[in-house]
């Protein structure tokens, strides 16, 4: 029973991180919409927000993991860290693929 609870907490941490990712993507789009009068700045916010998303996640993942560690919720923290690593690796691979095809064509 204890193993099921730990797996449930890891999955919950992963899903919680996905919710944070969704909130940060919405924040980037809202920020770009607020400076809509300046098209170049709005486009830069979106492009830099998308290109730097793997690094932007460090802004909220590291403090959240430290807080979870302080609250002694280690399995939830493991789920958040697992999701952050998976996001970084998936995003990094897709980013390299896009850069590769940009320079070919």
pLDDT, residue 34, reads 84
The first and second tokens of residue 74, run together, are 């280690």
pLDDT, residue 83, reads 93
55-69 pLDDT, tens per residue?
888 889 999 999 999
Round to whole Å and give the CA distance between 97 and 100: 5
pLDDT, residue 75, reads 92
Q: What is the value of pTM for the model shown?
A: 0.80
CB contact at 8 A, 32 and 49: yes
For the chain, residues with pLDDT lower than 50 are: none
């Amino acid at each position: 029973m204890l193993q099921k609870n730990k797996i449930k907490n890891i999955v919950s941490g992963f899903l919680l991180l996905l919710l944070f990712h969704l909130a940060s993507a919405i924040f980037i789009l809202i920020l770009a919409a607020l400076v809509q009068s300046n098209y170049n700045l709005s486009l830069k916010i979106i492009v830099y927000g998308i290109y730097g998303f793997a690094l932007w996640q460090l802004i909220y993942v590291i403090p959240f993991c430290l807080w979870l560690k302080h609250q002694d919720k280690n399995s939830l923290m493991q789920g958040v860290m697992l999701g952050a690593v998976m996001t970084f690796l998936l995003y990094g691979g897709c980013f390299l693929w896009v850069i590769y095809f940009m320079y070919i064509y």
